[in-house]
Structure 1
Amino acid sequence: MIQNFTIATSAIPPLFALLALMLAGVVLVSLLLLRLRQSMLAGYFICGVLIANSGVLGILGGGASHEQISQMAEFGVVLLMFTLGLEFSLGELRFLRRLAFVGGGWQMGLCGIVVAAVSSVLHTSSWHGGVILAVALSLSSTAVSLKSFQDLGLEASPGARMALAVAIFQDLFIIVFFMFLPLLLPHEGPDEAILPRLGSLVLRGGAFVVLSGVMARWVIPWLLNAVTRTRNRELFTLTVIGCCVSLAFTGGLLGLGLALGAFVAGLAVSESIFKHRILADVMPLKDLFLTLFFVSVGLMIDIKTAARLWMPISALTLVFMLAKAVIITFVARRLGLAQKQALMAGIGLCSAGEFSLVLLQQTRAAALWSDDTQQTMLVASALSMGLLPALLKFGIPLGDWLVKRGWGRGKPVKFDAGSLRQRVALLSNHAIICGHGPVGEKLNNALLDAGVQTLVVELNAETVRKLHREGQPVLFADACHEETWELTRLKNARIVALTFPDATINAQALSLIRALRPDIAVLARARFSSDVERLKRLGATQVVNDETEAANSIVEQAEMLQGT
């Protein structure tokens, strides 16, 4: 039977066969984990581990197909770095600078010292490996942490804001570290002293910064403006991906790494009005390729070796999660957070992070440590990320217990929400207005006069710029994208108004809204009477019909004229 299966699969390209198996496995394992209310991230690792240890790789092309998957996964890292640069905000950093630089600096410093000291005592690697290991285990998973806070409805809490601030510092740190990483890895070619290599790195980095500045200031905005005027969705997405890949490729050519180039590409458009539209377009692609990345990490894990090393893996996971939680809780308390919020921040950042895995994977070929050490760190990092959501849930009753015991109430930390991005992120009980034409503008002004917070979703770049200058919370985004509704904080909104006259667009938006918020009131607009019932069937609470309103107005005006 196995022989027949081998013959059958020989006619299928190995990469396609492995991709099909991976994606099917990810779906099945993730469905099971979601039913158990666990993180899907763990499902990606589990799927990779099962495939790597089932013997299927040998049948499907072995190491060649695995290598191709790893190359595709690297594109996922590029997109991750691009979205990281895109979501990075100097304005947000300004309002969180104390927590970010003081809190993040102390966290990275203390965690790095502890890991480096343990690595030195145990002689697990050279000093180069010790530095990389210290950085890798000091990083936290921004995605898992913030998603866990959101699932618990605590994304606006001081603990979550502290976690966000530290995560911003970690992101800045890892970008700089990636730039200097080549100095810590074995150097190919003739031996050179460290200073000439450092000087060459600084020159290449300076040239890249100048080139990126020119692209960000003139080229990319001009290009996106030109593409936006065409109102072609596919061309916009292709342009965004092209800019990302081009700058990443340039960074790679200069020896700075693809990751750094992709981050700079994201940073180039992070303060533009196109940010939210780009996020909506790029996020699905990023999620797909990052799934491949996490599965490819799982492919590197050997169950037999992990089973043999279960004691050091368990000890490392327990010790570094506990140490990070204690250190971050201590730092947060020193910065003025109450005990419960400091504890939530500590637990939220106690796991390893995506960049921990990226570092371990990128330095694997350098053989800075033994295979057993590599396996121990990989499994411990993956295990910590899988445990985080459950630990954060446990942190709530633990924090309440500490408060009842009277431990460290402290002053609540206030966060300035002065930036426009901060105001959007903290919106609650607001109205979402899709479209800012004559109808949307009048509705927006009426709601603001009534004291209701509003958020406008608009695809006209000039209108978005105008609203942005006026301080109106606005997203340059497409109402037909699911990611757009996540950005609008739909779960915290009170009403949605679809002011577009196009019933097709409104129908697509309604299906997304009802999938995320079945209970919210939705006011829709229809140009023709035939579309009214269709929109009501899709879930519109009320539908305003242009034809009916125009007819009523004409009749009213005619009666007034006849009466005169």
Structure 2
Amino acid sequence: MADAAAGMDLGHGVALLAAAVVAVPIFRKLGLGSVLGYLAAGLAIGPFGLRLFADPEAILHFAELGVVLFLFLIGLEMRPARLWSLRKEIFGLGATQVLACCALLSGIALLAGLPWQAAVIGASGFVLSSTAVIMKMLDEQGETATEAGQRAISILLLEDIAVVPLLALVAVLAAASGYADADARPAWQALAVAAGCIAVVVAAGKWLLNPFFRVLARSGAREIMTAAALLVVLGTALFMQWGGLSMAMGAFLAGVLLSESVFRHQLEADIEPFRGILLGLFFLSVGMSLDVAVVVAEWGLVVAGLAAFMVAKAAGIYLVARLFRAPPREAVQRAALFAQGGEFAFVLYGAATAAGVMAPRVGALMSAVVILSMAVTPLVVILLNRLMPPPKVSMDGVEAPDGLEGRVLLIGFGRFAQVVSQPLLAKGFEISLIESDVEMIRAAGSFGFKVYYGDGTRLDVLRASGAERAEAILVCVDKPDAADRIVELVKAEFPLAKVYARAYDRGHSMRLVQAGVDFQIRETFESAIKMGRHVLHGLGVDEAEAAEIIQDVRERDNERFQLQLTGGLAAGRYLMRGNMPTPTPEPFSVPRRGGEALNPEAAEALAQRKAGRVPHKAK
């Protein structure tokens, strides 16, 4: 029986992984995001799909650890000084949004005929947005560290803090209705315990955690450091849950307290693998938890409730955002992102149902509305991003090119081009600079550069920038596709100009050579060569031998590049030195066609090697 149970558990694990591996790539390929993929996969294998799982609630409780670990990693990036700077957003913006939306949704629930107690609790649960959904979407869009993303995190933190008073409210309403739990703490005591738990965690983080990890680091056992990281995160989360706060809040606080620790990066590396898997498991379990029978039986109420609550909450969020002077675009995006209910609603509705404040049927309907709202949100955000016009960029102080006449036209003015421009300016050449990043143009202006706004992939911009009169055109943009397009235009329209291009990698270098540029260079090649030379010096190799070694590296790289131009990226592989004990043997001859070498230069170089005229390796 034990073996059978173990096999059943293993089978469940395989089913979960298989569902995620199949669904998530498909949904991402369709542009629908991974969250919706996980939810759909959970619905497919849950009690109302293939029925592979009979108790999704048990998985949901375990999978909440994914949210906990996610919040811990966010906390590691949020130093105490940064958190303190967000206090107005947390307790001002966050509190205003929660109270305003709670009032709106309570009014809608009352109009729908719910008792006022159930209306308030139902609204309160839906007001607390899904931390998991929002953080996952912010993370996928790369907006976690932006100012708008930081404000979103501030609101989520306030919502986590709101857990304590809302649970206390359930106890108060239960007592007023005659359903008081004799074991429940009084409201004042619950608040005091929560505050005490926060104080204990802060004190431990300040005086205990660094010495604790320092002692463990001396042991040299990496797996013990990983275990300790998980112990700190999960222990803090469990302690905060005991104090009446959410586990996510506890994990976030632990991350903040360790954000200035010397072990921060190691902790982040240790936790990251667990976070992704458990967060996906959380979304799978939410999808399984959708009671399809309730949705089918009461579909009219569910759809009406879903639409009414999401629209009303989005309207409230937008008004609050504008009240706090958020730009219209950010206000709309925040309204779409926060319009759903969250995972804490399940806890709140469960407590309210157990306390008699909410009828079981109402609790089931509200839970279905919350789950559907979590599934709809990614679709709403995707649709909104496609319909909204691109953000307007202020062009104050930025000029478009018009009749520029520099001998050199430099396209793209990032960190690469800034260095390239220095010897030209030192010689006194007149340079015309264009760039498509407005912030970069403004930043360059503060350092004494006159940079014009222009997209080098457009022929009219190139003409206005003086490409017809320029003797040299330097393509220094950091996107390979854009560089290819610019080179194509310049070679076709301005054939007298010499073209110098920055290459992203080896494949891009090959494309640029085939396009006919006069010179190309991989953006990291020279810096890597120079660093290798300094390392040789640092390891005791004398100057002459180091120069010989570096020259051999250059010649091998050039020889391999010439072979790749005709034979593709796999050609000339034998010219790269590896660290495996058995090196790849060199061919006895260069590949030929019809008696002629495909690359005469490479053939000659190989002949010289064999004759001993070019050193293979340092003597």
TM-score under structure 2 length normalisation: 0.57
Relative distance call for 1:261 and 1:93 in structure 2 (3 A) is: closer
Tell me, yes or no, if the aligned pair for 1:53 and 1:303 is still in contact at 8 Å.
no
Tell me, yes or no, if the aligned pair for 2:43 and 2:49 is still in contact at 8 Å.
no
2:208 alignment partner, SS class? helix
The counterpart of 1:29, out of the listed 23, 27, 45, is 23
Report the CA distance between 1:228 and its aligned residue.
3.8
The counterpart of 2:332, out of the listed 327, 331, 343, is 343
Q: Which amino acid aligns with 2:34?
A: M
Query: 2:158 matched to which residue of 1?
Result: 172
Q: Does 1:115 align with 2:105?
A: yes
Relative distance call for 1:377 and 1:290 in structure 2 (3 A) is: farther
Relative distance call for 1:228 and 1:105 in structure 2 (3 A) is: same
1:277 alignment partner, SS class? helix
Tell me, yes or no, if the aligned pair for 1:75 and 1:289 is still in contact at 8 Å.
yes
Q: Does 1:18 align with 2:12?
A: yes
Q: Does 1:92 align with 2:82?
A: yes
Tell me, yes or no, if the aligned pair for 1:317 and 1:384 is still in contact at 8 Å.
yes
Query: 2:231 matched to which residue of 1?
Result: 242
Query: 1:139 matched to which residue of 2?
Result: 128
The counterpart of 2:209, out of the listed 198, 220, 225, is 220
Q: Does 1:52 align with 2:46?
A: yes
Report the CA distance between 1:322 and its aligned residue.
2.2
Q: Which amino acid aligns with 1:165?
A: R
Report the CA distance between 1:259 and its aligned residue.
5.1
1:545 alignment partner, SS class? helix
Query: Over aligned residues, Cα RMSD in angstroms?
Result: 4.5
Q: Which amino acid aligns with 1:106?
A: T
% same residue: 24
Report the CA distance between 1:94 and its aligned residue.
4.2
Q: Which amino acid aligns with 1:27?
A: V
Q: Which amino acid aligns with 2:318?
A: T
Q: Which amino acid aligns with 1:72?
A: F
Query: 1:472 matched to which residue of 2?
Result: none
Once residues 257 and 389 of structure 2 are traced to their aligned partners in structure 1, the CA distance between those partners, rounded to angstroms, is 43
Q: Which amino acid aligns with 2:323?
A: R
Once residues 306 and 99 of structure 1 are traced to their aligned partners in structure 2, the CA distance between those partners, rounded to angstroms, is 37
Q: Which amino acid aligns with 2:286?
A: V
Once residues 493 and 226 of structure 1 are traced to their aligned partners in structure 2, the CA distance between those partners, rounded to angstroms, is 45
Once residues 88 and 165 of structure 2 are traced to their aligned partners in structure 1, the CA distance between those partners, rounded to angstroms, is 25
Matches within 5 A, 1:325-364: 325-356=314-345, 359-360=348-349
Once residues 152 and 38 of structure 1 are traced to their aligned partners in structure 2, the CA distance between those partners, rounded to angstroms, is 12
Q: Does 1:283 align with 2:272?
A: yes
Relative distance call for 1:366 and 1:40 in structure 2 (3 A) is: farther
Q: Which amino acid aligns with 2:63?
A: A
Once residues 133 and 201 of structure 1 are traced to their aligned partners in structure 2, the CA distance between those partners, rounded to angstroms, is 21
Q: Which amino acid aligns with 1:117?
A: G
Once residues 77 and 148 of structure 1 are traced to their aligned partners in structure 2, the CA distance between those partners, rounded to angstroms, is 13
Once residues 97 and 125 of structure 2 are traced to their aligned partners in structure 1, the CA distance between those partners, rounded to angstroms, is 13
Moved more, 346-355 or 363-372: 363-372
Tell me, yes or no, if the aligned pair for 1:179 and 1:260 is still in contact at 8 Å.
no
Report the CA distance between 1:220 and its aligned residue.
0.7
Query: 2:94 matched to which residue of 1?
Result: 104
Matches within 5 A, 1:372-521: 372-396=361-385, 398-400=387-389, 519=504
Relative distance call for 1:306 and 1:245 in structure 2 (3 A) is: same
Tell me, yes or no, if the aligned pair for 1:15 and 1:68 is still in contact at 8 Å.
no
Report the CA distance between 1:124 and its aligned residue.
3.5
1:25 alignment partner, SS class? helix
Report the CA distance between 1:108 and its aligned residue.
1.4
User: Tell me, which stretches of 5 or more residues in structure 2 are unaligned?
Assistant: 397-412, 417-442, 445-476, 480-502, 507-523, 548-619
Report the CA distance between 1:39 and its aligned residue.
2.0
Q: Deviations over 1:49-86 (max 9, x none)?
A: 222335765x77x44xx464244224345434544544
Once residues 344 and 226 of structure 2 are traced to their aligned partners in structure 1, the CA distance between those partners, rounded to angstroms, is 26
Q: Deviations over 1:410-460 (max 9, x none)?
A: x9xxxxxxxxxxxxxxxx9779xxxxxxxxxxxxxxxxxxx99xxxxxxxx
Report the CA distance between 1:241 and its aligned residue.
0.8
Count of aligned pairs:
424
Query: 1:476 matched to which residue of 2?
Result: none
Tell me, yes or no, if the aligned pair for 1:103 and 1:166 is still in contact at 8 Å.
no
Report the CA distance between 1:335 and its aligned residue.
2.9
Q: Which amino acid aligns with 1:545?
A: G
Tell me, yes or no, if the aligned pair for 2:478 and 2:504 is still in contact at 8 Å.
no
Matches within 5 A, 1:264-343: 264-343=253-332
Tell me, yes or no, if the aligned pair for 1:81 and 1:262 is still in contact at 8 Å.
yes
Query: 1:528 matched to which residue of 2?
Result: none
Relative distance call for 1:260 and 1:555 in structure 2 (3 A) is: closer
Query: 1:184 matched to which residue of 2?
Result: 170
Which of the two has higher C-alpha Rg?
2
Report the CA distance between 1:137 and its aligned residue.
1.7
Once residues 351 and 280 of structure 2 are traced to their aligned partners in structure 1, the CA distance between those partners, rounded to angstroms, is 17
Q: Which amino acid aligns with 2:153?
A: A
Q: Deviations over 1:356-391 (max 9, x none)?
A: 456456766556534543343334333333333443
Tell me, yes or no, if the aligned pair for 2:38 and 2:287 is still in contact at 8 Å.
yes
Relative distance call for 1:314 and 1:540 in structure 2 (3 A) is: farther
Tell me, yes or no, if the aligned pair for 2:167 and 2:348 is still in contact at 8 Å.
no
Once residues 212 and 493 of structure 1 are traced to their aligned partners in structure 2, the CA distance between those partners, rounded to angstroms, is 46
TM-score under structure 1 length normalisation: 0.62
Q: Which amino acid aligns with 2:111?
A: V
Query: 1:72 matched to which residue of 2?
Result: 62
Q: Does 1:545 align with 2:532?
A: yes
Once residues 402 and 211 of structure 1 are traced to their aligned partners in structure 2, the CA distance between those partners, rounded to angstroms, is 45
Relative distance call for 1:261 and 1:180 in structure 2 (3 A) is: farther
Relative distance call for 1:72 and 1:96 in structure 2 (3 A) is: closer
Tell me, yes or no, if the aligned pair for 1:163 and 1:348 is still in contact at 8 Å.
no
Tell me, yes or no, if the aligned pair for 1:30 and 1:40 is still in contact at 8 Å.
yes
Report the CA distance between 1:38 and its aligned residue.
1.0
Moved more, 274-283 or 141-150: 141-150
